[in-house]
Amino acid sequence: MVGAGETVRLVKVNAGRGLNSRLAAMGLVADTKLTVVSNSHPGPFIVTVKDSKVMLGRGMAHKIMVR
């Protein structure tokens, strides 16, 4: 889990074709920098990617591998 304010690099998404395509359309592809805006539980997981804020459900966020 990544805390708010941290910047990480997306390594891969462990999901099926549908979710991979959906996340790619939002700019979440391998080797992209993500900055975590909010990771409060309960609540959505919010990241900034390419100057846009993206809100993800917890299930989606758990399938994203970062370093």
Residue 14 in any domain: the answer is: yes
Residue 1 in any domain: the answer is: no
Domain that holds residue 12: 7-66
> What amino acid is encoded at 46 in this protein?
I
43: left (phi over 0), alpha (psi -120 to 50) or beta: left
Express each pLDDT in 33-65 by its tens digit. Answer: 999 999 988 888 999 999 999 999 999 999 999
pLDDT at 63: 96
CATH code of the domain in which 32 resides: 2.30.30.90
Question: How many folded domains does the chain comprise?
Answer: 1
| Preceding amide of 44 cis, omega within 30 | no
- Surface-to-core class of residue 45, CB atoms within 10 Å of its CB (0-12 exposed, 13-18 middle, 19+ buried): buried
61, 1 in Cβ contact below 8 A? no
Tell me the pTM.
0.88
